[in-house]
Amino acid sequence: MAESAIIAAELRDKLLAEPEVILEDRDLMRALIAANERAMGSNIVDLRGIAMERLEARLDRLEDTHRSVIAAAYENLAGTNQVHRAILQMLDPVDFEDFVKNLGGEVAQILRVDCVRLVLETVQRDHDPTLDRLGEVLCIAEPGFVEDYLAGGRNAPGRSIVLRQTLPESESIYGLSGPWIRSEAALKLELGRGKLPGMLALGAEDPHQFRPNQGTDLLTFFAGVFERAMRRWLA
- Mean pLDDT over 67-79 rounds to 75
The proportion of the chain whose per-residue pLDDT surpasses 70, expressed as a percent, equals 81
Question: Does residue 48 surpass a pLDDT of 80?
Answer: no
User: What residues contact residue 192 under an 8 Å CB cut-off, 6+ apart?
Assistant: 231, 234, 235
Name the fold adopted by 93-234: Beta-Lactamase (3.30.450)
Q: How confident is the model at residue 86 (pLDDT cuts 50, 70, 90)?
A: very high
- Mean pLDDT over 42-68 rounds to 72
Contact in structure between 84 and 161 (CB atoms under 8 Å): no
Question: Does residue 60 surpass a pLDDT of 90?
Answer: no
pLDDT tens profile 140-175: 888 989 998 888 767 656 678 999 998 887 888 888
Q: 4-8, 35-39, 60-64: lowest mean pLDDT where?
A: 4-8
User: What residues contact residue 182 under an 8 Å CB cut-off, 6+ apart?
Assistant: 165, 166, 204, 205, 206, 207
Question: Does residue 202 surpass a pLDDT of 90?
Answer: yes
Greater confidence, 49 or 102?
A: 102
- In 3D space, the residue among 107, 163, 117 whose CA is nearest the CA of residue 140 turns out to be 117
